[in-house]
Structure 1
Amino acid sequence: MIVALKDGRWRITNLNLDHNHDLNPGSRFFRSHVYMSDEEKALIRTMKRCNIPTRKIVIVLAYIRGGMDKLPYNKRKVGNYGTTINRELENSDVMEVQQYFQKKQAESLGFFYSMEVDAKNKVRSVFWTDARSRTMYQEYGDCISFDTTFLTNKYNLPFAPFVGISPHGKTYLFACALIVNETANTFKWLFQQFLAAMGGKAPKSIITDQDKAMESAIKDVFPQETHRTCLFHVMKKVEEQMCRVFQLNQGLYEDFHDIVNNSLTEK
């Protein structure tokens, strides 16, 4: 049908009532043909919670339907539904964490957790520890190691563990945290929560990397303790900066490591 505007009125200028295409074109992507069952939506929700990529979700759904050509929707439709699910999960994750922590605290009075919130009451950082970790800290908490090297894969938040070691060489995890960033204010809040959880007992020494924000927060919260730089980070920097010197002086690399690792002088 062809319609044209003439003299201010729309007029049909040509009309062909004969069909010029098949009555059933078989397109599975017509809006009227797109259909996602409740079972498929539930399966997508489950796979999203397991962090399965959209392309693999589509493959699974196509297999269930009997082939990709039997799937009445495309990858974009699955992706759009996945985005809706992600929004729901983002809004409920913090509540689920808080409910879990409250349950643990009810089961054990020694469980301790704390959440930092911003001006809009939005959670920024989370800190937690349990009764056994707090007990081990009282015994072996003179020296602790603190690092934020690891990032969580979903929210890209730095994971911050407080780790110690016993006189017998056994490693203990004293506390953990997920922090919003690596600024001095965030570290200061985190160290304050750690101090509160451990009954006000501060470590005698703490080992970190060469992060200036950590150094600033440690001076504020643990002013009496000795702050040491992690040997791994020091040696890594030395090897990066002194690589050519070691190459030009045969035996210097071995002597350097012998002095560092086998020193008999108390530091």
Structure 2
Amino acid sequence: MEEMLKTERLHLLEQICDLAPSNGAKSRVAMIFKYRLRQRRDEMMAFYANLKLDDGEYEESEEQGDGYNSDVFGSCEELINWVQKLAYSIGVVVIKRRSNKRSCGFMYRVVLQCDRGGEYKVKDSSKVTGTKKTNCPFELEGTYSDDYDCWTLKVTCDQHNHQPVLFMEGHPYAKRLSEDEFNLVAELTRMNVAPRDILAILKERNLSNVSTLRTIYNACNKIRMVDQVGKSPMQVLLSLLHSNGYVYEITSTGLNELENLFFIHLTSFDIWRAIPHVLIIDVTYKTNHYNMPFLEVVGVTSTSKTFSIAFAFMHNEKTVNYTWVLNCLKLTLN
């Protein structure tokens, strides 16, 4: 019965906000947010009413001023997740503004704000840019209590200077991947699954997922950066060639810089051994950051279909470089 009354009060509050004048519409989010904050406080107070602490029953501190509530959270992550989930349901995104840590590294205070809070820092650029920041004053503060080993939440400012988002599906926050989804993307990426297929799998498992292909590309790039940390580009390339079963040869300069690189896959080699009659060699440019010519050797089947055989990066296009590549190709036959 009590739960039905709370739901009815919330529905009535939303109707009142809809009928409010335009100048008061901006406070609709703050009113609903404040009401649901009090609603959770009532639930937690009912739970802690029977909880005996070391120094007696739990009582709300009289020193708490306006904006404090009796909500308690087991961790900072629980507090942030609850606030973000509540704000998201009413068309607002809340982000972490700053946090304070003790000398031991323990975080005891966190300040949350609207994602439209703050001012855009103008950069020297010829591009015409825009910003979604409106210097929104909305702010929350979470603090850790040493006495009760829990986190409490304080509403520093409950006002927004903008309208809530009607359709959150287009907001970048809604396109974020959850921890389980990100781990799945990492696993599928290491299995060489195409990004479009990864996105299809995510949407099949979670019908409410609104991520885009760009989200998957960004996640894949982040995974690669983690895997490649502490390695040079050449170390990453040679590691990939070795792990994917390529046979390769390299030459270097006196300064230990790459001069030529030849590589061939065993599957391509087997096809070439079966159809060795025609070879086509071509060189392309602007394929890498170092402007090294990229040579490709392809074969032709009896049905006039081409297949890749070998590849090579060359320092320059001189006779000695082409001779080296052809010698490497010849040695693979042995």
Fold match by TM threshold 0.5: no
Q: Name the TM-score class by shorter chain.
A: 0.3 to 0.5
TM-score by length of 1: 0.39
Greater share of helix: 1
Instruction: Give TM-score scaled by structure 2 length.
Output: 0.32
